């Protein structure tokens, strides 16, 4: 399930936005910049809806800080505000926001913008296949093809690997990885996640030699990065 952050200091508006978006993801509410930025150090979000007028910073400034940071520079962001002049819209988009919704927010408009944004930022798929360089994920069989060789993974390993490849270069929180792969209600330890990460490194060859860095982000989670053009996978 998507995790959506809503940054809005008006309690009534925050409640309305949460109700609107709750059917499309798990919403986390924040009343100011400080609480949201703290949350980014411990969790991962798939989308952020940010009000322009916050008590401790403008929404434009907050977007710029997020884009310049290291934890969530590519998170999809929608600015929400009563400002509607061309100059304001341009300023919001230039700051790094992906879209712009004016108040009063209409539910059909907001949800349409959310769905359009998420589709645009999702990887293109060919039916059940998703390809990332030399790695092809076959979702119909839970199989990863590295080069021309099929790699045998468990279902959890497959889901974890696909999540990491879909979020290449993006640091993902431990809690986010465990919820997405094992489910929010599952009683999974961090050690279980670490074990699956080690197995993926070995099974998929996610090493600098093959052009990938796959390792921990201290105090946060894990990140998969492509460091160079990976050499063609050899077949056995």
User: pLDDT, tens digit, for every residue of 169-225?
Assistant: 889 999 999 999 998 767 788 899 999 999 999 999 999 998 999 999 988 999 999
Contacts of residue 60, defined as CB under 8 A and 6 or more positions apart, other chains included, come to 52, 79, 91, 92, 95, 97
Residue 24 lies in a domain: yes
Which pLDDT does position 86 carry in this prediction? 85
User: In angstroms, rounded to a whole number, what is the distance separating the alpha carbons of residues 111 and 17?
Assistant: 10
* 86 and 148 within one domain: no
- Do 177 and 141 share a structural domain? yes
Q: Is residue 217 part of a domain?
A: yes
- Please give the average per-residue pLDDT across 106-115, as a whole number: 91
Residue 233 within any structural domain of the chain: no
pLDDT digits (tens, 9 = 90+) for 199-211: 999 999 999 998 9
Q: Are residues 7 and 113 in the same domain?
A: yes
Predicted local distance difference test score (pLDDT) of residue 229: 58
In a domain, 234, yes or no: no
pLDDT of residue 234: 45
On the question of pLDDT at 235 being above 60, the answer is no
Backbone angles phi, psi at 177, to 5 degrees: -60, -45
What are the Cα distances from residue 31, in Å, to 58, 68, 72, 216?
A: 13, 21, 19, 30
Let me know whether 100 and 160 are in one domain.
no
| Segment 7-14 mean pLDDT | 94
pTM: 0.75
Whichever domain contains 110, its CATH number is: 3.40.50.2300
Strand-pair partners of 84: none
Tell me, yes or no, whether 75 and 148 share the same domain: no
Q: How confident is the model at residue 36 (pLDDT cuts 50, 70, 90)?
A: very high
Are 15 and 100 found together in one domain? yes
Question: Is pLDDT larger for residue 50 or for residue 115?
Answer: 50
Q: Kind of pairing, strands 143-146 and 135-138?
A: antiparallel
- In the listed set 68, 96, 121, which residue is the last one of a domain according to the structure? 121
Domain boundaries, position 23: 3-121
Q: Which one of 88, 121, 154 terminates a domain?
A: 121
pLDDT tens digits for range 41-76: 889 999 999 999 998 889 999 999 999 888 788 899
Same domain, 18 and 116: yes
- Give the residue from 92, 121, 150 where a domain finishes: 121
For residues 160 and 83, state if they share a domain. Answer: no
Instruction: Give the lowest-confidence range in 60-74, 75-89, 115-129, 164-178.
Output: 115-129
Establish if 232 belongs to a structural domain: no
């Amino acid at each position: 399930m998507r995790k959506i952050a809503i940054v809005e200091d008006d309690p009534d508006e925050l409640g309305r936005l949460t109700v609107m978006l709750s059917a499309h993801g798990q919403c986390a509410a924040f009343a100011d910049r400080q609480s949201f930025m703290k949350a980014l150090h411990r969790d991962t979000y798939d989308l952020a809806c940010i009000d322009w007028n916050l008590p401790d910073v403008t929404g434009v400034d907050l977007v710029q800080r997020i884009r310049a940071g290291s934890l969530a520079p590519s998170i999809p962001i929608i600015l929400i505000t009563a400002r509607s002049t061309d100059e304001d819209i341009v300023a919001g988009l230039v700051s790094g926001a992906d879209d712009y919704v004016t108040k009063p927010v209409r539910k059909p408009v907001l949800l349409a913008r959310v769905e359009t944004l998420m589709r645009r930022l999702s990887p293109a798929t060919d039916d059940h296949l998703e390809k990332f360089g030399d790695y092809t994920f076959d979702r119909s069989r839970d199989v990863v093809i590295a080069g021309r060789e099929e790699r045998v993974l468990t279902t959890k390993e497959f889901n974890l690997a696909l999540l990491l490849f879909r979020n290449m270069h993006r640091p993902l929180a431990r809690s986010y990885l465990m919820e997405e792969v094992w489910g929010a209600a599952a009683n999974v330890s961090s050690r279980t996640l670490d074990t699956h990460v080690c197995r993926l490194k070995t099974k998929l060859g996610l090493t600098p030699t093959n052009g990938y860095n796959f390792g921990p982000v201290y105090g946060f989670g894990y990140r998969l990065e492509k460091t160079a053009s990976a050499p063609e996978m050899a077949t056995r």
